[in-house]
Structure 1
Amino acid sequence: MEKGKTLNIAGLPWYLCLGACVLVFVAAYSGALTTDVAGALAFGCAVSALLYEFGERLPIWNSYIGGGLLMVFFGTAVLIQFNILPDKYAEAIGEVIQGSPNLLNIFIVFLITGSILSLDRKILLQSFAGYIPAILGGLACAVLFGVIVGAIFGISPTNIIIKYALPIMGGGNGAGAVPLSQIYEGATGEPAASYYSHAIIILTIANVICIIAGGLLNKLGSIKTSLTGDKKTLMRNAGTLAKKDEKVASDTEDLRGAFFLALTAFAVGSLFSKRILPSIAGAQIHAFAYTILFVVILAATGIVPRSVCAGAKRLQTFMIGVFGIPMMVAMGVDFDLMELASALSPVNLIIAVAVVLGAILGSALVGYLVGFYPIDSAVTAGLCMANRGGSGDIAVLGAADRLDLIAYAQLSSRIGGGIVLVVASVVFSFAL
């Protein structure tokens, strides 16, 4: 803040922000606030405004743990655990963001469209061509590190791979732990729940490690700038983005076109994932994977006017700037601290750290070899493989200050998760 200027919180002068928060909380704690989209977002904005400012000012936390965004995530979880936030409004924002209205889908779709259409065509094709090797590098090293550390505790390589590495690297809960447990049941005849109960515990621990690691990698990038780029592209020596808003003008019509195009891409993704090609090699393919592929094709062919591409980038910037912070409240509502505490045995924690560390180093190394910045490759191809799927991607990228890389993160969760399911089908069949 420059000398003589008023302190701003959440885009408002501090006194207006605090006044707004008080009014929202009075409405909520009196039960007068609605639990629809408007009421839930008002509550989320008030909670996130205060927690974000606190996280940005708390020493050590603001520099090494992840700053305001992670404070919103963990702070909300703490407030929920101690019943400080009214249950019905906490549930309302969780439902609005990840339930039936599912604003998280809209958020991700606009980020995907803007991040892909804003890239130069050559950079786009080169980065996506090298991304699968970076994912595989992270997966291989995650397994290797897990096996090495597991040997210290007398756990066999087979058990490490089946019970630790695959659940962590499987793309989250719904796309990872759940189908993995079904594959396990089919291979062994044992109830899927027996596998799932352990898988979700390990995945929960790894998810938290990934979020914290995202903040630490961002700090490393600020110290060692040669390891990262502009946080918007993976490719080294890519230069500035070719279609930035300041280079190409866009008006309201372009925004309207970008808005419609983004939602069309999601419709195409849903069509392919539900009807045309729902699975490949036995692995379910998520709508977002097809959405990304469709937008990549649009960008590669060059048929989208540059002004509409600039409009898509503006929509992406708007979503990150306006919705990115309140979204973390919903992520915190969905995070059970007691579940984490009950799972934090020393063995589980150490092995999970080893697997995540392997994912970071493997994806960074292979990413570097294919022309990526190591930190950006580690965040997207590594951490976003090892976290808890879609919501985990938002939390990790938020902590790493790299939400512009959401398209790559979603590839990790969706395509990478599919690769893990195929691997699991083979491993479970021969090892159990």
Structure 2
Amino acid sequence: MDMNPKSGADAQALPAPHRSAKEIWWNLMDNYKIGIIPLPLFILAGILIAIDCKNGKLPSDIVVMVATFAFFGFACGEIGKRIPFLGKMGAPAICATFIPSALVFYKLLPQEVVHATTQFYKSSNILYLYICCIIVGSIMSMDRKVLIQGFLRIFVPMLCGEIVGMLVGTAVGTLLGLGAFHTFFFLVLPIMAGGVGEGAIPLSIGYSSIFHLEQGVMLGRILPIVMLGGLTAIFLAGALNRMGKRYPHLTGNGQLMPGTDVDGVGPLQSAFSGKIDATTLASAALLAILLYMVGMLGFKLIGLPAPVGMLFAAVAVKLAHGVSPRLLEGSQVVYKFFQTSVTYPILFAVGVAITPWSELMAAFTVENLVVIVSSVVSLVATGFYVGKRIGMHPIDVAVVSCCQSGQGGTGDVAILTSAERMQLMPFAQIATRIGGAINVSLGLLVLANVLMK
């Protein structure tokens, strides 16, 4: 016999318990959010930003910028999440980047916000803080065996993908009447050049010297192609994420190598013991920053890009058991914080400060789009196929292949956010920076030799 007076039919007749105003407010704070921001705090942030803008100046200090980036970044990401179908295909990352760019171009974003965001982004180099915490945290989360095998094997699908992508893109452009020379050097090569700072700019400098034209003119032709290639890669990364959810046997959900047990603190998803204190978190963040400084030193000494130098330094520390399991766990918590809380704000800043909407729109011709899409799709499909053939998780390898046609560090962030595989950031950096540098160097060498004949 059931002695519970609130069970059965009697329970249905009981009135709902009265909720106090405090409970309603707490429920609103905990269960209604824009991104990670509770709705009341989101509304308050919008009001405070509007008041500052109405007073004629939005301060560009870090305190105000954190609130501003979070407000606009998560708002744009939320819009992307709510787009039917595309919301699960990378639209949040795309919206967080390109909606701000469009708002700036059409003067719909307050000039105070534009000025403060651009000034803070360019003076603080906050993107590199984000990247160093993501890279170090993801490396510290990896199994040592997976780390070694992954770095050795990833070059095979990368190389095969680039060869196939270049051949397919050039062939398609030639068939469309663009000419093999123009297609390869002004469409295909910029896509795989490694982004803006490490790719488009060095490429434009080389082109300006070889063609005896202004660098700005060459950069204006190259930059929109780089952006469209990155946009295509973001969509493909989102599609790969959906494929992984439908066919889980094809993905390691951020792990390149199947069939390995994780040592030390365990995989990222289950590594948190809940015993990490504030001092450990601070030490882990400092570890990431110091490793980036090691990368900067490497750049000064041998010219290796700082993020790549930092990546190699972090790998060496991991393989040598250079940090304790507790600090490894702290690095993973720092990684998780930046992944969940900083990604969309960073993408908003990128969209406002360095993403020119007019140049992106100027490159939207049918021929350009067909060449770009065919190049990126063939690159990614080759990475998928080759990765599967050599015993790697094909979807995760294909996501890294997407980064070969991204916009440098910012593109890696957007692509891996779209794919929900931020753990792949170390491999993405190799694909983007090392692969891009090789492509630019070889491309300029070939171009110079072709024009000399």
- 1:348 matched to 2:368? The reply is yes
Query: How do 1:120-131 and structure 2 match up within 5 A?
Result: 120-131=143-154
2:330 to 292, 303, 311: 311
Report deviation, 1:211. Answer: 2.0
- 2:196 maps to which residue? 173
Report deviation, 1:177. Answer: 1.9
1:417 to 433, 436, 441: 436
CA contact (8 A) 1:249 1:310 kept: no
The unaligned stretches of length 5 or more in structure 1 are 279-284
CA contact (8 A) 2:58 2:116 kept: no
Q: Which sits farther off after the overlay, 216-225 or 180-189? A: 180-189
Spell out, residue by residue over 1:68-95, the C-alpha distance to the aligned partner (whole angstroms, 9 max, x if none). 3333223222322322211232232233
Using a 3 Å threshold, how does the CA distance of structure 1 residues 202 and 58 change in structure 2: closer, same or farther? closer
- 2:299 maps to which residue? 273
- 1:100 matched to 2:127? The reply is no
Identity among equivalent positions (%) equals: 28
Report deviation, 1:18. Answer: 2.4
CA contact (8 A) 1:384 1:409 kept: yes
CA contact (8 A) 2:96 2:351 kept: yes
- 1:289 maps to which residue? 308
- 2:378 maps to which residue? 358
Query: C-alpha distance in 2, partners of 1:90/1:367?
Result: 42
Using a 3 Å threshold, how does the CA distance of structure 1 residues 67 and 252 change in structure 2: closer, same or farther? same
Q: Which sits farther off after the overlay, 347-356 or 210-219? A: 210-219
Query: C-alpha distance in 1, partners of 2:283/2:41?
Result: 35
Report deviation, 1:192. Answer: 4.5
Report deviation, 1:22. Answer: 2.7
Provide the aligned length of Structure 1 versus Structure 2: 419
- 2:135 maps to which residue? 112
Using a 3 Å threshold, how does the CA distance of structure 1 residues 335 and 181 change in structure 2: closer, same or farther? closer
Which residue identity is paired with 1:364? F
Report deviation, 1:266. Answer: 0.9
Report deviation, 1:239. Answer: 4.8
The unaligned stretches of length 5 or more in structure 2 are 1-26
Which residue identity is paired with 2:169? G
Q: Which sits farther off after the overlay, 189-198 or 290-299? A: 189-198
Using a 3 Å threshold, how does the CA distance of structure 1 residues 11 and 340 change in structure 2: closer, same or farther? closer
Query: How do 1:42-57 and structure 2 match up within 5 A?
Result: 42-57=67-82
1:79 to 76, 80, 103: 103
Query: C-alpha distance in 2, partners of 1:213/1:195?
Result: 28
SS of 1:100 mapped into structure 2? helix
- 1:281 maps to which residue? none
- 1:385 maps to which residue? 404
Report deviation, 1:67. Answer: 4.3
CA contact (8 A) 1:141 1:361 kept: no
Using a 3 Å threshold, how does the CA distance of structure 1 residues 290 and 56 change in structure 2: closer, same or farther? same
- 2:391 maps to which residue? 371
Which residue identity is paired with 1:370? I
Q: Which sits farther off after the overlay, 111-120 or 172-181? A: 172-181
RMSD of the TM alignment (CA)? 2.4
Which residue identity is paired with 2:256? L
- 2:256 maps to which residue? 234
Report deviation, 1:356. Answer: 1.0
Which residue identity is paired with 1:75? I
Query: C-alpha distance in 1, partners of 2:444/2:97?
Result: 34
- 1:62 matched to 2:82? The reply is no
- 1:21 matched to 2:60? The reply is no
SS of 1:302 mapped into structure 2? coil
Query: C-alpha distance in 1, partners of 2:45/2:217?
Result: 48
SS of 1:85 mapped into structure 2? coil
Query: C-alpha distance in 1, partners of 2:298/2:326?
Result: 28
CA contact (8 A) 1:367 1:374 kept: yes
- 1:335 maps to which residue? 355
1:253 to 279, 285, 289: 279
SS of 1:415 mapped into structure 2? helix
